[in-house]
Chains A and B, each alone.
Chain A
Amino acid sequence: MSNSILESVDAAGDSTPGRTGTSAGTPASTIVMSMQQALNRALDEVLAENPKAVIFGEDCGQLGGVFRITDGLQAKHGAQRVFDTPLAESGILGMSVGLAMAGFHPIPEVQFDGFAYPAINQIVCQIARMNYRSRGTLPMPITLRVPSFGGIRAPEHHGESLEALFAHVPGLKVVSPSNPHEAYHLLKYAATRPDPVIFMEPKSRYWQKGEVNLAHGEAGAGSPTGAKVMREGRHLTLVAWGAMVARCLQVAELAAEDGIDIEVLDLRWLKPIDAEALAASVRKTRRAVVVHEAPLTSGLGAEVAQLITQSCFDTLRAPVERVTGFDVPYPSGDLEDEYIPNIDRILFGIQRVLEYKRG
């Protein structure tokens, strides 16, 4: 996290993978794939590189997961390392604790966001505090993959945004990729950490393709920690993560038609949040809107707004706005588009900030 500001600035350069379509100068290590394929590739490599990494969950094995993220991994790495469990999320996460104690790196999958609730006891009461309880002798290198957020007209409990819940728990780290490139690199990084990381995959973005630069380090992905500027701008910073990043990039293009130059900051890590990147961006733009699918009240937007206010109070031209889901249970498919922040609601939020007058 130390160089996150610099990295954010670097990341805004031409080779930024978030800004696809740069055919000229595309590095040789860049290939086009979907997020689903990028995650699959990352897991494949993690299994190959770490003999103690194991993947398990409901339907992860032969079926390859309901979203095919683990497709082919059992056939390639064996049923000892990629396996189906009985259908019990608390069991999956509780078992992860024991495996971690035994020296493994569990990469469990909870099939859908809403099915993490039955596992909350093990996640919060056990995984998050074992390192602390054991005075550092029992670290919990557990990478919990959770297909997350809404947008696919799915049944109940298949469209939840749990980041604030997870982020509130001491002892958990939380990350969410916004595109295939981020997915590949963030998962490879998360799955090699010595601490528990909740990896929230934006399921509505699984199938969109994008360029992935497989090279690591400064020539390739840049840092896997901290936030990342996905589009540079002068007038206002849109802060988002997961599926909302793509929508904010669309909004930025539309705002440009109106002469408003918007910076889009992909927060990526929802815990720890990159306060320095927020400060660096908003010091420049002096205006900020944070966008998330999760409900408004006690959502991460509040945390982001506070961090910005803390660092940029003197230069802010308006209070930080939040454009979010509502304080309602995630609705059925018919009402999904009413719930998830849409382009117009984000534009309204931007307009409120732009027209704000002090005093």
Chain B
Amino acid sequence: MAEISFPLPDLGEGLIEATVLEWLVSPGDQVERNQPLVEVETTKSAVELPSPQAGKVVRIHGGPGDKINVGEPLIVFEVPDNTAGIVGTVPKEEAPKRRVRLSAVLDED
């Protein structure tokens, strides 16, 4: 597994910071791309930031009332370690299991 960190995006109009109003996800949550993550307030308005990534939330930065600068870490996701194909599942490495025993009298001629 790898971690992907997303900073507070540039919210446009020259805004350089935002205040966290409410987190809509918690560490441990599995979120989908585009799912609302957090409500933040800028000097202009309150906006919901959608998730740019599907994955499991590992950490969130800043509680309600905290200010975060654009470019500072906002949220960290855990994603599969570049192991995904487009379909199917990565096989698990398992210890070999057996039922069958071999028996033989081997002549060594």
Contact = CB atoms under 8 A, between A and B. Distances in A.
B91 A351 contact: no
Interface stretch (B8-16, B20-28, B71-79, B98-106): B98-106
Interface of A: 36, 59, 66-68, 71, 111, 147, 151-155, 158, 203-204, 206-208, 235, 250-251, 253-255, 258-260, 343-344, 347-348, 350-351, 354-355
Given A67-B85, A258-B103, A207 B98 contact: no
A155 B106 CA distance: 45
13 contacts: A153-B88, A203-B88, A207-B83, A208-B93, A253-B96, A255-B102, A258-B103, A260-B102, A344-B98, A344-B100, A347-B101, A351-B104, A354-B104
A153 B89 contact: yes
A258 B102 contact: yes
Contacts of A253: 96
Interface centre among B96, B97, B102 (most CB of A within 10 A): B102
Interface residues of B, number: 20
A259 B90 CA distance: 33
Contact of B98 (A111, A254, A260): A254
Nearest to B80: A207
B1 interface: no
Interface string B31-75: 000000000000000000000000000000000000000000000
A350 B96 contact: no
Contact of B91 (A36, A152, A258, A355): A152
B102 A343 contact: no
A152 B88 contact: yes
Contact of A154 (B88, B97, B101): B88
Contacts of A251: 96
B87 interface: yes
A258 B101 contact: yes
Interface centre among B83, B87, B99 (most CB of A within 10 A): B87
Contacts of B101: 258, 347
B87 A154 contact: yes
B96 A343 contact: yes
Given A66-B85, A154-B87, A348 B100 contact: yes
B22 to A, nearest CB: 35
B88 A351 contact: no
Nearest to A260: B102
Given A253-B96, A344-B98, A355 B88 contact: no
A356 B98 CA distance: 22
A71 B85 CA distance: 12
Contacts of A154: 85, 87-88
Nearest to B99: A344
Nearest to A250: B96
B67 to A, nearest CB: 35
Contacts of B86: 59, 66-67, 111
A68 B96 contact: no
Contacts of A158: 87-88
Contacts of B88: 152-155, 158, 203
Nearest to A256: B102
Nearest to A112: B87
A153 B87 CA distance: 8
Given A250-B96, A343-B98, A206 B85 contact: yes
A288 B100 CA distance: 18
B87 A68 contact: no
